[in-house]
Amino acid sequence: MNRTFRATFLLLISAFALASCSKQGAQTSVDTTRHVELVPAPSVPYPDAKLAIVAPREGEVLKNPKDSVFIIMQVTGTELGTHTDADSTRGIAYSKQGQHVHVIVDEKPYMADYKNGQPFNIGVLPPGMHTVRAFPSFSWHESIKSPGAFATRTFFVGQETKASTGNNLNGPMLTYSRPKGSYTGTEDSSVLLDFYVSNATLDTNSYKVKVWIDGAAMPDIVKWQPYYIRGLSSGKHTVRLQLTAPDGSPVPGTYNSPVEEITIG
């Protein structure tokens, strides 16, 4: 290798290294200036909504595992399929189809039911025991937290089994709702964090909800209300919750420690 070629080669390597360092430094600068925070959402009055699961019956055995399962719910005190007042002014994701029921099958993300009292298809389920949790929501996906608005139903597909999920439906329970899926445009400026608490009261000296976003601990939630996550960068993020007892220990059950991955941008 002659001196001229060697010098040119070294200059190119140096320039490439400097450019790489510059890009890495710029990227690091952007990431460190972004501050993720959890803030209480504006409070709204909750209607006196109630929800009842009509079918399937508690403990019912649905014989054919190849058939789709339909659930029928009856909601009173609020109207499904209509827009909540001023739903488009909150600056967060909302459904153009209006108010709906969040239907959660086992530990899957919820499905939205907009038609009151009509059969709602939750798909073909594997044989065994299944549990549905359901509650109505406003157009912007916030759960309606009035007494009697939450219901559960456990049934079997194929044949009855003695299997247990380890979740006590009659004990303190957390039901995850939002955020979920992908957020684009202005929806990513404030992302709704919302969940349903049953058979427990959140307070500084009582039950709490711990929150981690991308592994970073947020302040404990001691008041049951919706919250906004702000400052999320583009890309994938992980949201983890944990319901804790008054002594600080995790409340048993997989429902009480949900983990959800979302995408921003």
Number of H helices, E strands in the chain: 1, 17
Higher pLDDT, 81 or 162: 81
Cβ(262)–Cβ(235) under 8 Å? no
Quick check: 7 pLDDT over 70? no
Helix (H, G, I), strand (E, B) or coil at 236: strand
- Position 89 scores a pLDDT of 67
State pLDDT tens for residues 131-141. 999 999 999 99
Confidence class of residue 32 from pLDDT cuts 50, 70 and 90? very low
Quick check: 10 pLDDT over 90? no
- Position 34 scores a pLDDT of 63
- Position 187 scores a pLDDT of 78
User: What's the whole-number mean pLDDT along residues 136-164?
Assistant: 94
CATH class of 34-265: mainly beta
Quick check: 19 pLDDT over 70? no
State pLDDT tens for residues 206-265. 999 999 999 999 999 999 999 999 999 999 999 999 999 999 999 999 999 999 999 998
Confidence class of residue 74 from pLDDT cuts 50, 70 and 90? very high
- Position 47 scores a pLDDT of 94
Confidence class of residue 163 from pLDDT cuts 50, 70 and 90? confident
Helix (H, G, I), strand (E, B) or coil at 133: strand
- Position 189 scores a pLDDT of 85
Quick check: 22 pLDDT over 50? no
- Position 206 scores a pLDDT of 98
pLDDT cut 90: percent of the chain above it = 77
**Distance separating alpha carbons of residues 225 and 38, to the nearest angstrom:** 12
- Position 186 scores a pLDDT of 77
For residue 205, with 0-12 CB atoms within 10 Å meaning exposed, 13-18 middle and 19 or more buried, which class applies?
A: exposed
**Distance separating alpha carbons of residues 208 and 187, to the nearest angstrom:** 28
**Distance separating alpha carbons of residues 24 and 86, to the nearest angstrom:** 43
